[in-house]
Structure formats: structure tokens, C-alpha cells
């Protein structure tokens, strides 16, 4: 059994070290201030400069975030860990995959599958389960009933206005799926009278991308259009990828009202290798292999929303109606015995009213979310034909195995209250959310309760859940902020969990998975912002997790049933550290994100006589690290070196085989040729390190999904 207090021990040690540094730095800073005061008559310019720096430090410590309450709020008042990647960083990095940008946030790891596909790990192992909530401008990209672990490829990340990641369960404003974290991609507003941005790039393996943006202000209105056209041949066999994405945003202000309209669309076609694993021999000697070269994915996603905010004297009313359309065809590489199509059309409303009171500087946020999402699912059996070694060469689409309509309905009132008793430095918050979800399932085929592809009869299924939250924030001074919180969250079983029955005896009676999370954190800076830090620790218990329990069919012992049950309990605990150091002001900057975590089974029995309780969960790296060193030797030249580290993890739940982890080094450089024209280059995996995006062990064999080898790409930019 893993020692439960190990994370707490490490956190206490780290806390002592940080407070020691903080105290030392503040004493040094105080001494410096005294010396400056003594020389005030001869160093007026220097004193003014120091005052300006202090003012900047205070402004940056009051960083504004929007994800916690769906509107702008000082980060120091949020009782949760929120990491952010700013728009200028995204523009500088020009990520070819979301993983390249979000790993700068401590404790966040996204791996790479084909194209821009991914699995996510935030306070959880890498997983395809619906434990993350993906948003665009605060609106879920999909309804809770139709989760997609590849959700970020449906969002135009490289042209976004920033990314915020709320780690752990969401606040009272968020419902199902917000267990491990909330990822909110922000659209880009117009900031100048006229903006034109063009980026054209190319690279190895047929990589080509064009990013074009145009923005214009018209008095109190503005409009921005972004277009993203991407093409890649893929570095593995038969992994061609094409993408077309666009975003239109219109902002208008009239009287005391603000209107924001956003329309986004993406069309993605790709051949996939994904995390489909290669044998150890091919991983080492033939990593470009693709055993199922006819697998593929075809995705269309459209979202539209209109956010109306009306400002009263002490309150703001916000109404955001939205529409979503998602369609995905998938022939999975990892399970090529089926192909399927899902479609989903959503209509909804986010309603919120925020009121500020003079009494105790309090704030009340209350509202309700509504979501109606009718969808369809159709799955065909695929009969695999000839095979040449590990390679499938032919296949034939067989009978329809599932064909059903399902309508998802959600209605969720919520309220969150914040106030400052005794002193304004202390901020308390408490909130709660009640979620009512309903599925209306209509089976278009016959009902079947035997065999491997059972189909439940028409049914309605509803869920009700109450989620309380509470937090405390204390601003020690302008340089140190402490917070702690308790948050409860849940995830409702998805339509696939409930109605794609497989050979389970019963799936429609599955219940929500529940999480209780406790968190403690410190945020601050020392030495006049030369050092900034964000340190947090969490302890999260998950109950009623869905376990696929294998047991013999009572009517035919030769058949093994995979019974889905709410029988799992897991424990997730860890520490996360973000550290920024300005070694030479505005010339040399070092940024570090680091996390240490333990993810363990508390109760997990996948079949009779087999109990994994006490084991570490597979695909759960103990350490995740990222260090970037940015050097700006001259104003027009910017270079960045990056170290990415993924720690060891067990490749199986029995904890027999372990992946040792890996390190890769990347390099980026951009040069401003003129005020408007620039050039850039990226180099991934400088040492050409052989590493796995995911490694697994089962049935006596090791399998690996290989990572990208040394790759170079670059391009030119025009900005006006």
C-alpha cells in the first residue's frame, strides 16, 4: 500500500523552502529600499523607475481570469488553482498541437495522437474518460452526454486569445465532467483600430499551415475573422491530416449593454495511427509502422453564441444563448472491429446575474444553465480480413450493431456567494449547484439481451445531483496570497456508457461518478517580481467510478461478460509548482512547471480473484515537468529552449511493467526582419530521442505508441 502522507510531507518541505525564500527576499528588498531612500536626493531617476516596477508588480499579481465565475475576476480572489497561457505566448509558440502550449501549466499533460488528437492528464492519469470539461469562451464545446476526449481539436487553438485551465473540480458554475479540470479556450478580441496577421509555414512530413486574421474597429463595435488551414502527411504511415477552421467574433457596446457574438467552425479529415500500439520490436526498429492503414476520422463542428451583458449600478445580468453541431465518423485504429457515426445538435442558454453589496464587500452570483441536445449513434460491425504479419490488409463492413436516437436535457441552477469578514484581505466563498439531467433513448433496432452486442429497450433515464463548494482566500500582502478549498463534483454516465451495452447484462442503471477534492495553495512573488511562484497541493477521492467487471456468462461459461459497475474508488494526490524567474530583466527569463502526483486504486476489482486495490493506476506519470529558457539578446530576436519531462508510470494495472519516462528538448526562434515582417523556426526533439506517447502491457506483451522524432518547421509572418 502506498504511503498516504508522502505528498503532504513533500508539500510541507516545499512550503518551508518557499516561505524561507520569501522572507529572505522581502528582507533583502526592505534593505534595498532603505538604501535607496538614503540616496534619494542623488537617485531620483532610479527611485522613479523602482516605483514603476512596484506598480507593475502589483498589476501583474492582480492578474484577471474569467473561468472561475465566467466573468473577469482578480486571480488572487479565486480559491482554486488556475493556470493561464496568454495570447502573446500562443502567438510566439505557434503550436502545431495543443500539447505544445498547455504543458506550460503545472500539472497539465496532453499527449499527441494522430493530427491534433490527444488524451489529457490533469490530476488524473492519461484517460479517454469524461473527467474534463472543455470550453470555448465559457461555453462547453459539447453537452455532458456526448463527451469527446479529443475536444481541443474542435477548437482553433493557435489563433485563440488565451487558454485558462482551472485544475481540479470546477466551481459552482460548472456541472458534469469538471472532475480533473476545466480547459477554457478564449476567442481573440480586436485590440487596435485595424489588425492584420498572416502566418505561412511549412516543414518536414508535408507540414503546411496558413493562419490569417483580420480585425477592424467601427466606433463602439469591432469584428474579427480568423482562418486556419492546415495540412500534414504525418510522420507515420497513412496518417495524413487536413484541417480547416474559422472564427468570427463581433463585439458591440451600446448604452450600458455589451454584446459579443461568436461563430466557430472546424472541418477535420485524417487517417489515424493514434495511440494504437506497436510491438516493442517495431517501436524500436520501425516506428513509422501503422498496422491499420485504412483507419480514419472525419469531424465537423460548428458553434454559435451571443453573449448579452447588461450593466446596472451594482450588478450585471448575463444571458448567453448558444447552438452547437457536432458530427464525427470514426474507424478506430485501436479497435478496428467497428466503425461508427455520431451526430449531435445542441440548443442552450447560460443565464447569470451577479450582484455586488457594500455589506462585507460581498458578491452573489446566481443563475442557471440549460442544454437540450438531441443526437444519434450508428455503429457497424467490421470484419477484418487478410493479415500480413501485424498488418491488416483487407476488411469488410458488416451488419449494423447499434442505431439509436438519444436526446439529452440538462437544467442546472447554481449560486455562489463571496464576502470579506473582519478584513478585506480575507475572502470567503461558498456555492452549490443542482444538476438535473435526462436521457430519452429510442432504439431503432430490435432489443437484444444476449451475445456480444446487446441493445437495451427504449427508455428514459434521469439523474439529479447536488454539488457544494467552499473556499477561503487570504491576501497576506501585495506579494503573497494563500487559499484553500473544498469542491465536490460528479460526472454523469455518457450516452455511450448507458446505451452502447456491449455484452453487459445491464448498463442503463449506471450512476454518476463522484469526487471530493481538498486543496491548499500559495501564490506570490519576491524581489519585485524577479521571482513569481504558484504552489498548490491537492487530495482528491473519487467514488462510484465505472469498472468493467469481467465474469463468466451464467448461461454460457465460454463467454466472458464485461459488466459495467459503479464499483471503483481511486485516490489522487499531488503537488504542483509554477516558477518564473527573470534572470536578466527583459533579456533572460526562466519558467518552470513541475508536478509530483500519486494516483492509486483504493477499491478496484476487474474480475473474480483479481483485486488491484493499493496499486498505482496505469498511465499515471509520477512527475511531469517543463522548463523554458527564453533569451532575447536584441529587441528583434527571440530564442527559446524547452525541456519536456514525463516521468515513469506503470503500463498495466497489475503494476508488472513500468515505462521509465522520457525527456525531449525543443528549440524555437523568431526574428523580426522589419516592423511588419518576421520569420520563425521550430525544432522538436533535438536529440531525436525515442519515446512513447503511451506505453501499455497486456496479454504478456509490451506495446508502444511512438512519439515524434526530430522535426523542423518554420515560416514567415506579416503583422499590421
C-alpha cell at 534: 504558484
For the chain, the average pLDDT equals 89
132-136 and 181-186: which strand pairing? parallel
- Please give the pLDDT value at position 483: 97
Residues 6 or more apart whose Cβ sits within 8 Å of residue 38: none
Instruction: Please give the angle made by the CA atoms of 146, 152 and 154, to the nearest 5 degrees.
Output: 70
Q: Express as a percent the part of the chain with pLDDT over 70.
A: 90
Strand partners for 196: 214
32 pLDDT more than 50: no
How far apart, in Å, do the first and last CA atoms of the chain sit? 60
Q: DSSP letters along 344-384, please?
A: EEEEEEEEEEEEE-SGGG-EEEEEEEEEEEEEEEEEEEEEE
Phi, psi (deg, nearest 5) at residue 10 = -60, -40
- pLDDT-derived band at 53, boundaries 50, 70, 90: very low
- Please give the pLDDT value at position 505: 84
Q: Tens digits of per-residue pLDDT, 451-488?
A: 888 999 999 999 999 999 999 999 999 899 999 999 99
- pLDDT-derived band at 591, boundaries 50, 70, 90: very high
- Please give the pLDDT value at position 51: 34
Q: Tens digits of per-residue pLDDT, 502-545?
A: 888 889 999 999 999 999 999 999 887 789 999 999 999 999 99
Highest mean pLDDT among 116-120, 129-133, 621-625: 621-625
Mean pLDDT over 334-359 rounds to: 93
Phi, psi (deg, nearest 5) at residue 380 = -110, 145
The least confident of 32-46, 187-201, 602-616, 671-685 is: 32-46
By C-alpha distance, which of 639, 646, 651 is closest to 697? 651
- Please give the pLDDT value at position 169: 95
Mean pLDDT over 31-35 rounds to: 41
Residues 6 or more apart whose Cβ sits within 8 Å of residue 28: 527
12 pLDDT more than 70: no
Q: Which residue has the higher pLDDT, 336 or 600?
A: 600
- Please give the pLDDT value at position 416: 96
Domain ranges of the chain: 6-21+48-719
Residues 6 or more apart whose Cβ sits within 8 Å of residue 152: 98, 110, 116, 118, 134, 183, 185
Mean pLDDT over 424-446 rounds to: 96
Residue 127 per-residue DSSP state: B
99 pLDDT more than 50: yes
- pLDDT-derived band at 555, boundaries 50, 70, 90: low
17-21 contacts at long range (C-beta below 8 A, 24 or more positions apart): 18/522, 18/533, 18/535, 21/526, 21/531
CA dihedral 100, 101, 107, 113 (to 10 degrees): -40
Q: How many CB atoms lie within 10 A of CB 472?
A: 16
C-alpha cell at 287: 516506428
Q: Tens digits of per-residue pLDDT, 56-93?
A: 333 445 789 999 999 899 999 999 999 999 999 999 99
25 pLDDT more than 80: no
- Please give the pLDDT value at position 558: 62
By C-alpha distance, which of 662, 686, 681, 661 is closest to 671? 681
- pLDDT-derived band at 576, boundaries 50, 70, 90: very high
119 pLDDT more than 70: yes
| Dmax (CA) of the chain | 95
Mean pLDDT over 371-388 rounds to: 93
Sheet with 692-698: strands ordered across? 278-279, 701-706, 692-698
Q: How far apart are CA 529 and CA 50, in angstroms?
A: 11
By C-alpha distance, which of 57, 22, 109 is closest to 664? 109
Q: Where are the alpha helices (DSSP H) in 72-186?
A: 87-93, 99-102
Q: How far apart are CA 257 and CA 152, in angstroms?
A: 31
- Please give the pLDDT value at position 351: 97
Q: Tens digits of per-residue pLDDT, 638-696?
A: 999 999 999 999 999 999 999 999 999 999 999 999 999 999 999 999 999 999 999 99
Q: Tens digits of per-residue pLDDT, 199-230?
A: 999 999 999 999 999 999 999 999 999 999 99
**CATH architecture for segment(s) 6-21+48-719:** Beta Barrel (2.40)
Phi, psi (deg, nearest 5) at residue 493 = -60, 135
- Please give the pLDDT value at position 528: 75
Residue 453 per-residue DSSP state: S
Beta carbons of 481 and 76 less than 8 angstroms apart = yes
Q: How far apart are CA 331 and CA 273, in angstroms?
A: 11
- Please give the pLDDT value at position 430: 97
- Please give the pLDDT value at position 554: 67
Q: How far apart are CA 685 and CA 97, in angstroms?
A: 14
54 pLDDT more than 50: no
Among left, alpha and beta (phi > 0; psi -120 to 50; other), residue 206 is left
Amino acid at each position: 500500500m502506498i504511503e498516504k502522507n508522502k505528498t503532504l510531507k513533500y508539500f510541507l518541505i516545499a512550503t518551508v523552502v518557499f516561505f524561507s525564500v520569501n522572507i529572505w527576499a522581502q528582507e533583502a528588498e526592505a534593505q534595498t529600499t532603505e538604501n535607496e531612500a538614503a540616496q534619494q536626493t542623488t537617485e531620483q531617476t532610479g527611485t522613479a523607475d523602482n516605483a514603476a516596477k512596484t506598480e507593475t508588480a502589483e498589476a501583474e499579481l492582480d492578474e484577471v481570469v474569467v473561468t472561475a465565475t465566467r466573468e473577469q475576476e482578480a486571480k488572487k480572489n479565486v480559491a482554486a488553482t488556475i493556470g493561464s497561457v496568454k495570447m502573446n505566448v500562443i502567438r510566439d509558440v505557434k503550436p502545431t498541437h495543443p500539447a505544445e502550449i498547455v504543458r506550460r501549466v503545472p500539472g497539465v499533460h496532453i499527449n499527441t495522437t494522430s493530427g491534433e488528437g490527444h488524451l489529457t492528464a490533469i490530476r488524473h492519469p492519461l484517460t479517454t474518460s469524461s473527467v474534463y470539461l472543455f470550453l470555448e469562451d465559457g461555453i462547453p464545446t459539447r453537452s455532458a452526454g456526448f463527451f469527446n476526449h479529443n475536444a481541443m481539436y474542435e477548437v482553433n487553438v493557435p489563433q485563440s486569445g488565451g487558454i485558462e485551465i482551472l485544475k481540479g473540480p470546477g466551481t459552482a458554475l460548472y456541472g458534469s465532467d469538471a472532475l480533473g479540470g476545466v480547459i477554457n479556450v478564449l476567442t481573440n478580441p480586436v485590440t487596435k483600430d485595424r489588425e492584420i496577421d498572416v502566418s505561412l509555414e511549412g516543414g518536414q512530413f508535408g507540414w503546411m499551415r496558413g493562419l490569417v486574421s483580420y480585425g477592424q474597429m467601427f466606433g463602439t463595435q469591432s469584428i474579427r475573422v480568423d482562418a486556419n488551414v492546415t495540412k500534414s502527411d504525418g510522420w507515420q504511415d497513412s496518417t495524413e491530416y487536413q484541417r480547416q477552421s474559422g472564427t468570427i467574433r463581433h463585439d458591440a457596446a451600446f448604452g450600458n449593454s455589451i454584446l459579443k457574438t461568436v461563430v466557430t467552425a472546424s472541418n477535420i479529415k485524417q487517417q489515424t495511427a493514434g495511440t494504437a500500439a506497436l510491438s516493442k520490436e517495431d517501436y524500436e526498429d520501425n516506428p513509422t509502422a501503422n498496422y491499420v492503414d485504412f483507419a480514419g476520422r472525419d469531424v465537423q463542428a460548428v458553434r454559435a453564441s451571443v453573449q448579452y451583458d447588461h450593466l446596472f449600478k451594482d450588478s450585471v445580468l448575463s444571458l448567453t444563448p448558444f447552438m452547437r453541431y457536432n458530427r464525427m465518423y470514426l474507424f478506430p485504429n485501436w479497435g478496428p472491429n467497428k466503425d461508427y457515426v455520431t451526430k449531435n445538435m445542441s440548443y442552450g442558454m447560460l443565464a447569470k446575474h451577479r450582484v455586488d453589496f457594500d455589506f462585507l464587500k460581498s458578491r452573489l452570483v446566481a443563475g442557471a444553465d440549460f442544454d437540450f441536445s438531441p443526437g444519434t449513434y450508428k455503429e457497424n460491425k467490421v470484419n477484418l480480413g487478410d493479415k500480413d504479419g501485424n498488418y491488416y490488409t483487407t476488411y469488410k463492413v458488416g451488419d449494423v450493431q447499434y442505431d439509436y436516437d438519444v436526446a439529452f436535457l440538462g437544467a442546472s441552477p447554481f449560486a455562489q456567494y463571496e464576502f470579506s469578514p473582519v478584513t478585506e484581505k480575507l475572502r470567503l466563498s461558498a456555492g452549490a449547484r443542482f444538476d438535473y439531467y435526462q436521457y430519452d433513448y429510442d432504439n431503432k433496432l430490435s432489443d437484444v439481451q444476449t451475445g456480444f452486442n446487446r441493445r437495451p429497450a427504449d427508455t428514459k433515464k434521469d439523474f439529479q445531483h447536488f454539488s457544494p463548494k467552499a473556499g477561503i482566500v487570504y491576501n497576506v500582502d501585495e506579494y503573497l496570497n494563500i487559499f484553500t478549498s473544498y469542491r465536490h463534483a460528479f460526472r454523469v454516465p455518457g450516452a455511450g456508457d448507458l446505451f452502447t451495452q456491449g455484452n453487459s447484462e445491464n448498463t442503463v442503471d449506471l450512476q454518476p461518478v463522484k469526487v471530493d477534492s481538498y486543496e491548499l495553495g500559495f501564490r506570490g512573488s519576491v524581489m519585485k517580481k524577479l521571482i513569481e511562484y504558484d504552489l498548490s497541493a491537492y487530495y482528491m477521492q473519487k467514488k462510484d467510478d465505472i469498472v468493467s467487471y469481467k465474469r463468466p456468462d451464467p448461461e454460457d461459461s465460454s463467454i466472458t461478460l464485461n459488466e459495467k459497475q459503479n464499483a471503483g474508488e481511486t485516490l489522487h494526490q499531488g503537488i504542483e509548482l509554477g516558477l518564473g524567474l527573470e534572470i536578466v530583466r527583459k533579456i533572460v527569463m526562466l519558467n518552470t512547471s513541475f508536478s509530483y502526483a500519486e494516483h492509486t486504486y483504493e477499491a478496484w476489482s476487474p474480475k473474480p480473484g483479481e483485486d488491484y486495490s493499493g496499486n498505482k493506476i496505469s498511465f499515471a506519470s509520477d512527475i511531469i515537468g517543463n522548463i523554458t529558457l527564453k533569451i532575447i539578446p536584441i529587441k528583434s530576436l527571440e530564442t527559446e529552449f524547452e525541456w519536456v519531462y514525463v516521468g515513469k508510470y506503470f503500463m498495466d494495472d497489475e503494476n508488472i511493467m513500468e515505462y521509465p519516462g522520457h525527456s525531449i528538448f525543443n528549440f524555437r526562434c523568431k526574428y523580426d526582419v522589419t516592423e511588419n515582417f518576421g520569420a520563425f523556426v521550430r525544432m522538436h526533439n533535438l536529440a531525436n530521442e525515442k519515446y512513447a506517447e503511451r506505453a501499455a502491457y497486456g496479454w504478456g506483451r509490451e506495446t508502444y505508441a511512438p512519439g515524434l522524432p526530430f522535426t523542423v518547421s518554420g515560416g514567415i509572418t506579416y503583422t499590421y
